[in-house]
Structure 1
Amino acid sequence: MKLKAFLLLILCSLAISAVAQVKIGDKGEISGLAYSDYYWITSNHNESLEGNNGFWFRRIYLTYDHEVSQSFSTRLRLEMNGEGDFVTSAKMAPIVKDAWLKWENNRHEILAGISPTPTFSLVKDTWGYRSVEETPLNLQNFGSSRDFGIAGKGTLDEDERWNYHGMVGNGHSNNAAEINQGKKIMLALSYQLTERWIVELYGDWNDLSDEQYWTTVQGFLGYRTEDLNVGALYAYQHRNLPGLIGDANLDIASIFARASISQKTGGFLRIDHMFDPNPAGEDINYIPFSNNAKSTLLIGGIDFTMDTDIHLIPNFEAVFYGETFTGTMPKSDLIPRLTLYYQF
């Protein structure tokens, strides 16, 4: 309770003072961000959710960065969010999102601790609207944005066209302790084709408990300029699941674009298609999917910059389904939202 009160005091003092990062001495800095929505479920494959509406925080970050020396730095980031399961009603509690020590030189970095994975770092940067929705693989639980382990990243040539990001982790996201004998190995290799075009290949192998393992491959092509970003990806995941459940093979494709309309206005559009039903679809927070039909997710919206680091984003998410194994078609999910995103 003392920790919660301390964090709340920090957040309140930051909000009252200014929307700005706070310096702690010469080498420390506190910063943060928040994603908040007003949502309305106008239609859903689960009729019990239809008509649900309200305000929520999907995410709050509080980050402390410290420069130890010219070569070493560290970060501690706490995350708070709502459950997003449309059942649980509880107060938000902080969890550790990042906790790493980094060594770096001109071309390479090594991170030890809980740090971002290579799975969709480039896709996330190109998409640019994590405040609206997670990247396709993160949303469909193909992998996690964090893991506990050792990571290395950097450039392989002096022109910085070949870049890598590899990691060996526990395979259990940002959980603090290992609970089995297996590990997860991840590697992303990207090549800057031109000043604007970039291509990346990614793969991982996750040795889970009880003789289970998942393997994932992804290809991504991105076009990035100051006023326009476009991305396209395809990913395949094999889930070896011993027992009565049996193996699962999941394919997903996505294409998205974001563009500047004026100096303070932008727009974005994204389409994800799951070629297979996601067996864990109903457990996806904030936008549960039917777990027995193929799905196509459509996301669109307008981004209004209200002030420095403050954005008001009217947007919508719509999920359209194919036929189930019994020949029926789940009802479409339609969720208009008004998102407030700000950094401090």
Structure 2
Amino acid sequence: MKRIALICSIMALVCTNISVAQVNIGESGTIKGTVFGDFYWIPMNHNSDLEGNNGFWFRRIRFTYDRELSDSFSSRLRLDMSSEGDFITNSSVVPSVKDAYLKWENDNHAVYAGITSVPTWGVVEDVWGFRALEKTPLDLQGFGSSRDFGIKVQGKVGDEQRVGYNFMLGNGNSNRNELNQGKKVMLAINYQLTENIIIEAYGDVNGQPNDRNIYTAQGFIGYQSEELNVGALYAYQFRNNTTALGDVNLNLASIFANMEMTDKITSILRIDHMFNPNPGGEGIDYLPFSNQAESTLIIAGVDIQLEENIHLIPNIESVIYGETALGTTPDTDLMPRLTLHYNF
């Protein structure tokens, strides 16, 4: 009887300690998530094999755990998963590590160590505001990855804190392991012209084996307010000796706007133009592009806020192509979608 009582006391003590640990985690950290996906239909496509395809998919399921370790240090662990977007693979949704970093910060500056977001399109994505609808232009066209493993320093300088900087030294291999001796150096400088207008210049050098380095530059101007967001960018990427035909030059321009029509409804329009065929176009998830001709992407939609953190976005994506080197024109891509986006 005494032995049973002792076992019960130990179990009660262990359970109490577990409960306290769980409470402490809850008090010190936060768990949040975001989910978005679509019902899509492909009535027209440059690839006839995709015509008529339709279905449901998740383009993002994300869980984030943030924890403050002290007044200066914090950490983040983020898991990300999605349905396959290549129209071929039939597999279950598998999570991967999207962020895993330690952060130090004071009033104006911050240092990140680990897997974290890159400086490439952070400001652009803030002004665009509809990642659930589509990636930013450089992200969509594969000009870089949204994450890298390395060290990042960012902050604001000047008396009025109008100048922002974002510098990162990374592996240049996204959230995967380093496989070569090269590194990727990224730097973005932005200036807050007015309360609503921001401009940014960005550049990076991604060192690759066999002198196949990749160089990227981007200029951006954005206007942001409660009722209206407008942005315009131009980007150039040089890929040194990366294909059998030698060097690749890619030029990309984009303009976008979203305007609040009512408290619950926002209209969205975006136009991207690739001045050169993208060699990796066919491998773009969820929206493969022809790699034989220049392209113009048009995105139009309406964001309907059902609740504070729940959005329904009827939208349509269309890609119009120019002539190929052989003088032919790929068929237009057309994809109507009904997108659901919610945060928790």
Task: Identify the TM-score tier after normalising by the shorter chain.
Answer: over 0.9
Give the residue type in structure 1 aligned to 2:240.
Answer: N
Aligned equivalents of 1:145, 1:316: Cα separation in 2: 24
Query: Following TM superposition, by how much is the alpha carbon of 1:285 offset from its aligned partner in structure 2, in angstroms?
Result: 0.3
Give the residue type in structure 2 aligned to 1:150.
Answer: I
Query: Following TM superposition, by how much is the alpha carbon of 1:82 offset from its aligned partner in structure 2, in angstroms?
Result: 1.3
SS in 1 for 2:282: helix
Q: Is the 8 A contact 1:61 1:80 kept in 2?
A: yes
User: Residues 143-222 of structure 1 correspond to what in structure 2 (within 5 A)?
Assistant: 143-175=144-176, 177-222=177-222
Partner of 1:132: 133
**Cα offsets for 1:12-59 (capped at 9, x unmatched):** xxxxxxxxxx99432111110011100000100000000000001011
More displaced stretch, 195-204 vs 207-216? 207-216
Aligned equivalents of 2:273, 2:288: Cα separation in 1: 15
**Cα offsets for 1:58-98 (capped at 9, x unmatched):** 11001110000110000000001111000001001010000
Give the residue type in structure 2 aligned to 1:26.
Answer: E
Query: Following TM superposition, by how much is the alpha carbon of 1:283 offset from its aligned partner in structure 2, in angstroms?
Result: 0.2
Aligned equivalents of 1:259, 1:242: Cα separation in 2: 40
Aligned equivalents of 1:23, 1:161: Cα separation in 2: 38
Q: Is the 8 A contact 1:305 1:311 kept in 2?
A: yes
What is the TM-score normalised by the length of structure 2? 0.92
SS in 1 for 2:67: strand
Give the residue type in structure 2 aligned to 1:220.
Answer: F
Identity %: 58
Q: Is the 8 A contact 1:24 1:30 kept in 2?
A: no
Cα 1:147–1:48 change in 2 (3 A) is same
Give the residue type in structure 2 aligned to 1:113.
Answer: G
Partner of 1:254: 254
Q: Is the 8 A contact 2:242 2:248 kept in 1?
A: no
Partner of 1:27: 28
User: Residues 30-49 of structure 1 correspond to what in structure 2 (within 5 A)?
Assistant: 30-49=31-50
Aligned equivalents of 1:73, 1:243: Cα separation in 2: 42
SS in 1 for 2:246: coil
Query: Following TM superposition, by how much is the alpha carbon of 1:264 offset from its aligned partner in structure 2, in angstroms?
Result: 0.8
Partner of 2:286: 286
Does the alignment pair 1:274 with 2:271?
no
Q: Is the 8 A contact 2:169 2:184 kept in 1?
A: yes
Aligned equivalents of 2:112, 2:160: Cα separation in 1: 23
Partner of 2:301: 301
Aligned equivalents of 2:109, 2:281: Cα separation in 1: 38
Aligned equivalents of 2:82, 2:38: Cα separation in 1: 12
User: Residues 46-65 of structure 1 correspond to what in structure 2 (within 5 A)?
Assistant: 46-65=47-66
SS in 1 for 2:261: strand
Aligned equivalents of 2:32, 2:195: Cα separation in 1: 31
SS in 1 for 2:38: strand
SS in 2 for 1:138: helix
Query: Following TM superposition, by how much is the alpha carbon of 1:165 offset from its aligned partner in structure 2, in angstroms?
Result: 0.4
Q: Is the 8 A contact 1:38 1:55 kept in 2?
A: yes
**Cα offsets for 1:206-242 (capped at 9, x unmatched):** 0012321100000000011111000000000000026
State the aligned residue count. 322
SS in 2 for 1:25: helix
Partner of 2:335: 335
Q: Is the 8 A contact 2:299 2:316 kept in 1?
A: yes
Aligned equivalents of 1:66, 1:44: Cα separation in 2: 45
Q: Is the 8 A contact 2:112 2:153 kept in 1?
A: yes
Query: Following TM superposition, by how much is the alpha carbon of 1:302 offset from its aligned partner in structure 2, in angstroms?
Result: 0.3
**Cα offsets for 1:289-327 (capped at 9, x unmatched):** 000100000001000101121000000100000000000
Greater gyration radius: 2
SS in 1 for 2:178: coil
Give the residue type in structure 2 aligned to 1:114.
Answer: I
Give the residue type in structure 2 aligned to 1:183.
Answer: K
Give the residue type in structure 2 aligned to 1:100.
Answer: Y
Aligned equivalents of 1:334, 1:23: Cα separation in 2: 51
Uncovered stretches (5+) of structure 2, i.e. residues with no partner: 1-22
Name the structure with the higher helix share.
2
Aligned equivalents of 1:24, 1:263: Cα separation in 2: 36
